[in-house]
A and B are shown apart, each in its own frame.
Chain A
């Protein structure tokens, strides 16, 4: 009697070696895909969406690439997931984490092939990861107390992060921009308050950080274009005929005269509302919702600048910078906190008019205006800047810093190698494999830069055998360089997250010995 089929028709089941093979292959394919984007000389990818419009994205951000892929292999999905989490949590290192996990699995595959049980490999990996973390912790530099040096560190980190991105040409400029923006936040990680406005035209170099706040809106007709010492009321209220909110209410009239009466009452109501708002003694009114023509005219008559339909984020940021509160009722003018700023004016960027609030009370928010040749460039620039901002804001909280350029990987590899030598038993093979996987990252960086990776990594390893070496790969000159002199730094938090999540993911995939795929849900044919 044949073995009964217990699963549904389309479901499939893969066991043991085959299952492991399937997940190794899938995971490595993903790692190889993003591998070429690693490092300062990494290449970009073009992504074309399948949706309508076939929109095109050019990027070398690992998370963005992986997010847009349609993947069928379950193991590959695990890698995509860790890259996404890395992006959410620290913002950078999204490529490194996938590459490291892929390399770990590649090494693990060899071990499995030589009949070492996956559980033994996992045990080895865990020991190695812990040891690598310890090694990094020993070499971190923390300049939290020295403000001057700390700012230098931030600059270095920003430059290192940006150097692998499209902004690398102007990294000095953008690094400064990013550091300034993040330092304004004063330790908060809420990147919402850094607004990025993209305007095509000009070159990337023309991008600038504005200390004040720029709102991408136009000033209403007939209203002052320039206000000094502005009192700003930030509001979220409906400025049409306030809908009657009591349920079931309706207007019933029996003559035209009454219609006119009601209309007049409505108008009166609006006028009253505007009067109430004006009673706050303001000369600028910003509303999240629409302001209709009639109130707008009233505002114009009163010489008040009224800005309508500022989006929700814009409102919150504006409230944050000007120190006002977001108001929805206007009955107690004396207790509503108004926002203040020195100057409101209309400025031109490229061909667009924007409203600029300068000299604001609280400098917690700021605006970065990005200029560039095309939308693709701008999108990529925004992603790069976002990465840099994320890393910086995390570093402000956790100020431990490491060198870059393959230095941390070599430090970890050295410590892990030593551990392998002192560990008896089969686990030492796995520990050794871990160190090999770590070395794969500087190798990839060198390869991507078109350098002789075998030669360079071997020299790097020799260099690291000396005490307290700061050697890393200098991609620009194609040789080994002192990372502290070159000013290449990375945040400890990023490296730690890369190490831990990559190990976790590799462990997860290694533990699997069976893949059961359910039958795909049948969708109704919409033919």
Chain B
């Protein structure tokens, strides 16, 4: 694009292939963007809360996904509009950072945009709105800090953690056995958590699933589950106190990287080569045996002869184990990954109390369980369920629950859920608004209104009268000065979220407010959209 002047000195804009492009400017551009952002939010709005509905997504290849996880819906939605893509990014960054609340953040951004539109119609400059939102978000975040509670937990006192995970899981399809799954998630996180450094490496938790069985059969395994079986059908299926050699070299003759040739021109050489070859396999197996390994796990394949030799020497082996799994096994068993047979020593072996093969159903699916490991710092959540979609959805739900548990270990502050935190913030922001002179005051008030959107959507999805319920709860909060009143989605009979045990993490909530404000500010600052015409 360039600015040019015609012969009379009038400026005009040159864009490449100008006629074919559509261009929106000024208020029109902002309104178009806002409308795009809102339509994304509208899709997610019905998925919010424990009574939220699912979305069915059919991918370009015809695979079906059923989910109510905001990030997943948006990721698979095949969005074309630029602003809508921004919203998708927003939900994704919430997913990366916090792992939960991906729906809420989009709904909040949508309602902020809605309020901004009204202000724009009144002629308030978008930048002033953005500034007002910024101020308001700061007030809200501070207020959240004030109403937050710290709670204590320890290795043995996990009840509060479980409760928080249950809040997360209650909005998913798995809420039938949310108690069990929440306990699994918390135990898994605690198993890998470093409580002193307050850090959790979620990579150490492997979430794996297999169709069949019931959701209730889902289990936490203190060890690793690998979707592989023994390389030879006649090897033992169960090994006690295994010493595991973890290899990344194949049981095959070496293949040097440099090009070489072995020329055979006499019968003697031919014979020698054959003997050499034979010796090779023997040596490899012997080396494993010498260091005292009772199980070999290898990243590569075995030659038939090597396979038989292993079997013959009573050395069970597993082949074609993926790199990531290999690493997990190494971490869990405290072994070292050995790239050459020569470097194999007794210290580098991993230890596991029990290795067993388990078969499922009527098909020949078999999996290898490695349990009672030396270092229990790697665990597996093994999900069973009626069908593939169920497993996938459970995996996503467990991931959310794991993230929540991790966030709590990092920072044990919580706020109460059910929309109570949003209502409390809304009241605080509303009250603070009057203190600001100038146009920003309006924007701050709009922000307060926008915060009401989340409890409103919660009430709506639960089949309650949204406006009536919200105003009742709001007045109750002000009257009793109790920031824990929220929407009673499950018809329990009390609005006090402390009694209902509905928690959310403080950082999750704060992040939601900050991220949503940021994106809305960005969208408001756009005043010119130039898009290429349809082909």
Contacts and interface: CB of A to CB of B under 8 A. Distances in A.
Interface string B72-110: 010011111101100000000000000000000000000
Interface in A359-375: none
Given A513-B54, A516-B55, A1 B361 contact: no
A516 B308 contact: no
Interface string B194-229: 000000000000000001111100000000000000
Contacts of B463: 117, 119-120
A331 B303 CA distance: 16
A246 B276 contact: yes
A78 B389 contact: yes
A97 to B, nearest CB: 9
A5 B80 contact: yes
Contacts of B9: none
Nearest to A265: B267
B253 interface: yes
Interface in B1-59: 28, 31-32, 35-36, 39-40, 43, 46, 51, 53-59
Contacts of B35: 1, 3-4
A207 interface: no
A245 B60 contact: no
Contacts of B83: 4, 6
B512 interface: no
A390 B362 contact: yes
A388 B278 CA distance: 48
A89 B362 contact: yes
Given A505-B386, A518-B58, A6 B311 contact: no
Interface stretch (A53-61, A80-88, A348-356, A461-469): A80-88
A309 B274 CA distance: 25
A424 to B, nearest CB: 12
Nearest first, the 7 A-B pairs at minimum CB distance are: A328-B308, A513-B53, A521-B60, A6-B84, A89-B212, A249-B262, A4-B36
A326 B363 contact: no
B309 interface: yes
A422 interface: no
Interface in B345-368: 359-365
B304 interface: yes
Given A6-B40, A512-B55, A246 B277 contact: yes
A340 B518 CA distance: 77
Given A78-B64, A85-B212, A6 B81 contact: yes
Given A245-B252, A319-B233, A393-B362, A511 B68 contact: yes
B176 interface: yes
Given A1-B31, A505-B387, A189 B362 contact: yes
Contact of A325 (B252, B311, B363): B311
A244 B277 contact: yes
Nearest to A332: B312
Contacts of A191: 362
A518 B78 contact: yes
A200 interface: no
Given A4-B39, A516-B56, A518-B60, A81 B387 contact: yes
13 contacts: A5-B80, A85-B387, A88-B365, A120-B463, A236-B304, A245-B253, A250-B263, A329-B308, A508-B54, A514-B43, A516-B57, A520-B60, A521-B60
A30 interface: no
A119 B58 contact: no
Nearest to A390: B362
Contacts of B365: 88
A29 to B, nearest CB: 16
A247 B271 CA distance: 16
Contacts of A253: 265
A254 B387 contact: no
Given A82-B387, A319-B233, A192 B254 contact: no
Interface string A216-246: 0000000000000000000011100010111
B61 interface: yes
A269 B61 CA distance: 53
A511 B66 contact: yes
A350 B390 CA distance: 48
B58 A516 contact: yes
A6 B305 contact: no
A507 interface: yes
B399 interface: no
A515 B55 contact: yes
A82 B386 contact: yes
Contacts of B43: 13, 514, 516
B395 interface: no
Interface in B256-278: 256, 259-267, 270-271, 273-274, 276-278
Interface in B381-417: 385-390
Contacts of B255: 247
Interface in A311-337: 316, 319, 325-329, 331-332, 335-336
Contacts of A505: 386-387
Given A117-B51, A516-B55, 11 more contacts: A1-B31, A75-B56, A118-B53, A126-B176, A190-B364, A328-B309, A332-B312, A505-B386, A508-B390, A511-B66, A515-B57
B416 to A, nearest CB: 22
B333 to A, nearest CB: 28
Contacts of A329: 281, 305, 308-309, 312
A191 B56 CA distance: 36
Interface stretch (A151-159, A256-264, A470-478): A256-264
B173 A252 contact: no
A256 B454 CA distance: 89
Interface string B300-328: 00011101110110000000000000000
